[in-house]
Amino acid sequence: ETGVTQSPTHLIKTRGQQVTLRCSSQSGHNTVSWYQQALGQGPQFIFQYYREEENGRGNFPPRFSGLQFPNYSSELNVNALELDDSALYLCASKTGGTGDEQFFGPGTRLTVL
Amino acid sequence: AQTVTQSQPEMSVQEAETVTLSCTYDTSESDYYLFWYKQPPSRQMILVIRQEAYKQQNATENRFSVNFQKAAKSFSLKISDSQLGDAAMYFCAYRRETSGSRLTFGEGTQLTVNP
């Protein structure tokens, strides 16, 4: 059984650019969540996808969007990058069960210059 | 909105000693889950222990145990026989019963273990 993987590990972008981050869920998991973790802070929930549909969103603007594919891998897209978007982006996957544990990936470190 | 507060930005402990990390939360819900996650320098968030709000018994996982005080909305983590590998950032997190996978995290406590 493989764990949650994310790519790339690190990324440097310029303000105004667009970025796509990728997450491969753990086998058998149909729910994925994305979090933004600014330096020295706790992760903040961005949104959640269940069976390819967004079904929960945190306090993030529409320029943060996502996709979940039939194989339950997912993408986080951020348009019009701002300096404050510099952070560690974490994805986590779980099964659809209410009490089931979610497993985190190692994250993608995004730096916006 | 639910909030999670960790009032100790940093803690240190001697190897083999015991340390307690504090966490308080605010919610109007009656059914929820509480978690402690560990984030080492490798950045991967690792679940340490979880507690279901409906359970009165405090959760225990080997050297890790919690003191869950539902009325006080307090959820502290006790690490016994601390090891060098326990050094990491520890996050307390809350999840509503009906919120799917959405976690609300505290700001974290950086734990240092001294040899």
Nearest to B91 among A42, A103, A107 (CB): A42
CB contact under 8 A, A102 and B101: yes
CB contact under 8 A, A43 and B105: yes
Q: In whole angstroms, give the CA distance from residue A95 to residue B110.
A: 30
Q: In whole angstroms, give the CA distance from residue B62 to residue B23.
A: 20
**Taking the C-alpha atoms of B92, A2, A49 and B52 in order, what is their torsion angle to the nearest 10 degrees?**
-40
**Confidence tier at B97 by pLDDT (50, 70, 90):** confident
Strands B109-114 and B104-105: unpaired
User: Which single residue is written with the structure tokens 């019963």?
Assistant: B97
Mean pLDDT of B109-115: 97
CB contact under 8 A, A43 and B103: yes
CB contact under 8 A, A101 and B50: yes
CA separation, residue B29 to residues A26, B25, B73 (Å): 30, 11, 11
In the predicted model, residues of chain A with pLDDT beneath 50 are none
Mean pLDDT of B83-101: 91
Residue A94, token pair as written in the block = 């779980």
Provide the pLDDT for residue A72.
82
CA distance A23 to chain B (A): 14
- Rounded to 5 degrees, what angle do the CA atoms B79, B82, B84 make? 130
